[in-house]
């Protein structure tokens, strides 16, 4: 099976309340779009729950306890920070989101599939070792990358982050680990206010390419082609992972970049080519942001279409 989609119904049970942009309708819209006939050969797998051992590679026990200790009763909500809301089932959803990423890493590294997409929520790239942030509870992609090192003995894993917001949590977790590489394109001066060019990591393993508000396809593609893909290639990873945020789309309400659906197909295509050249096609993609439902679902469809084409 060339492409596998990992998801779980528990990810819909993370209830953030009325009017919150990171809502269950996001995942529903994606899954409904992927029911189209062109995706009939896409193989689905149920995400397992991440274990505590796997989570604690990226997060402190205090972080985990803080989330679990603040889970509200059914029908109520709790704000862990001004942006991050949890409900009674949020921890279960977070375990499935991280578990999906781990299972996708296992499947790709073990050769059970060529690439994988994790259609999960809550997102993860803002979650820091000791703090929730920006809708994120657990850093799914960092947990997956650290699992690849610990369970499969991989020495070099590269994460490319195309979310319009910088993945401060992933960068913080990767910063002092020379076997982990993180590259991000994001809107400068946007939330969370991190991701500067001078942030380069312990072994020049961090690459940030902030772009101005209003940037569209041409400068973004040029930045990816000239500044990110060559650095990924030079790092020579054994696994490429993608923080697949779709909120740089021109229709997204939470930022001000102007990418199109075609751009998300293009970047997926480029990473698939690169993965084929340097790491035996191993590519794992994990859903991050994207808050206009139509733009999100169409962009995800373009992304999965490109994954299935390789």
Q: Helix, strand, coil shares of the chain as percentages rounded to 5?
A: 40, 20, 40
Which of 8, 126, 249, 265 does the annotation list as catalytic?
126
Residue 125: active-site member: no
What is the Cβ-side half-sphere exposure of residue 233, based on CA atoms within 13 angstroms?
14
Cis peptide before 24 (omega within 30 of 0): no
In 252-299, beta strands by DSSP E: 283-287
Residue entry with tokens 């794992």: 284
Of 220, 222, 226, 224, which is closest to residue 255 (Cα–Cα)?
A: 220
One-letter-per-residue 3-state SS of 111-135: CCCCEEEECCCCCCCCCECCECECC
CA of 66: how far to CAs of 92, 94, 105, 112, 127, in Å?
15, 14, 27, 36, 13
The encoded tokens of residue 35 equal 């029911």
Q: How many CB atoms lie within 10 A of CB 41?
A: 10
Active-site residues: which are they? 126
């Amino acid at each position: 099976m060339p492409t596998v989609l990992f998801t779980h119904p528990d990810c819909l049970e993370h209830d953030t309340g009325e009017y919150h942009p990171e809502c269950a309708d996001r995942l529903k819209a994606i899954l409904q779009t992927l029911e189209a006939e062109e995706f009939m050969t896409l193989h689905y797998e149920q995400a397992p729950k991440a274990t505590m051992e796997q989570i604690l590679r990226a997060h402190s026990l205090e972080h985990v306890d803080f989330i679990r200790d603040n889970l509200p009763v059914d029908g109520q909500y709790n704000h862990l920070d001004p942006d991050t809301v949890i409900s009674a089932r949020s921890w279960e959803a977070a375990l499935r989101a991280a578990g999906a990423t781990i299972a996708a890493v296992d499947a790709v590294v073990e050769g059970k599939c060529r690439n994988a997409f994790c259609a999960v929520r809550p997102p993860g790239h803002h979650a820091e070792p000791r703090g929730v942030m920006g809708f994120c509870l657990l850093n799914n992609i960092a947990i997956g990358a650290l699992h690849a090192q610990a369970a499969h003995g991989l020495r070099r894993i590269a994460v490319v982050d195309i979310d319009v917001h910088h993945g401060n949590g992933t960068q913080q977790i990767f910063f002092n680990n020379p076997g982990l590489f993180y590259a991000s394109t994001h809107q400068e001066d946007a939330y969370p206010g991190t991701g500067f060019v001078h942030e380069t990591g312990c072994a020049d393993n961090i690459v940030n390419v902030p772009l101005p508000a209003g940037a569209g396809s041409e400068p973004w593609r040029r930045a990816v082609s000239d500044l990110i893909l060559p650095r990924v290639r030079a790092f020579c990873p054994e696994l490429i992972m993608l923080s697949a945020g779709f909120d740089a789309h021109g229709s997204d309400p939470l930022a001000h970049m102007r990418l199109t659906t075609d751009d998300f197909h293009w970047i997926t295509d480029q990473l698939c080519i690169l993965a084929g050249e340097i790491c035996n096609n191993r590519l794992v993609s994990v859903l991050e942001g994207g808050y206009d439902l139509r733009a999100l679902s169409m962009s995800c469809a373009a992304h999965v279409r490109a994954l299935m084409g390789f």
